[in-house]
Amino acid sequence: MNMLASEVESYKEALLPLVPGYKAWCDTVVCTPYVLLPATVCVFKDTGVGVGAQNMSQFKSGAYTGEVSAEQLTDIGTEYVIIGHSERRELFGETDESVNKKLIAALDAPLCPIVCVGEKLEQREAGVTNDLVTKQVEEALTGITKEQLSRTIVAYEPVWAIGTGKTATPEDAQEVCCLIRNVIASLYSKDSADAVSILYGGSMNDKNAFDLLAQPDIDGGLIGGASLKPASFAVIINAANQ
């Protein structure tokens, strides 16, 4: 919940000159609060940078005051949506079941969903990370076809590393991202799993991005605070393009 619509243009002007090669192969997406989306879609039009929402409703329409549907997002030009972010799960009671329903609604819109999974510190310390993440992935993908999977992105974000400045080591992050890919392979096929982009989203920044992105099963980052600073975000984008 950062920035104003009036700041989007200056953000773009500060960011894009710093990432001349960002379209080499790395998909770059900016996900903003709802009220910034129209301005963001307009400002980033024809730049190659995608625009996404940070959340959406599982419902198509109706008496759900304050909610925003997938169709409403696509209608204004939104292409992506984050689903099941740890803050949505922790602060607003989202569950694996609601994540699955939102995923289905997003794919039907169609939007490109970025589905988040990850464990809390006490769960990691209890040694249940693998079981928990496996359950989250399996339940999120319930009823999702192989074709729909090909349009889905998965983000591993250890809750204990969100907004804390703490980051999983590259080896720890790789271990869980590899687990996620193996779970997807068991549900679909190895080829399908290999084609899914798996992101790491726990305090990735301009200092650690290169080492994290060098891991074989980390295909990109779900960037939080570092994305608010164009200079820092540019370093991460350029690291992804290497």
> Annotated active-site positions, please?
85, 157
| Strands (DSSP E) found in 40-108 | 50-53, 80-83
Q: What's the CA gap between 227 and 224, in Å, rounded?
A: 6
Question: Could you give the dihedral angle defined by the CA atoms of residues 125, 116, 9 and 46, in that order, rounded to the nearest 10 degrees?
Answer: 140
Cβ atoms of 77 and 41 within 8 Å: the answer is: yes
Distance of CA 65 to the CA centre of its chain: 25
CA dist 199 to 73, 114, 117, 192, 240, Å?
23, 9, 10, 16, 11
Bridge partner residues of 107 (DSSP): none
* Nearest C-alpha neighbor of 89 from the set 75, 100, 74: 100
User: Residues with Cβ < 8 Å from 157, sequence gap 6 or more?
Assistant: 85, 86, 116, 117, 118, 200, 201, 202, 222
Helix (H, G, I), strand (E, B) or coil at 170: helix
* Element containing residue 209 per DSSP (H, E): helix 209-213
DSSP 8-state class, residue 198? E
> Two tokens at 151?
């349009």
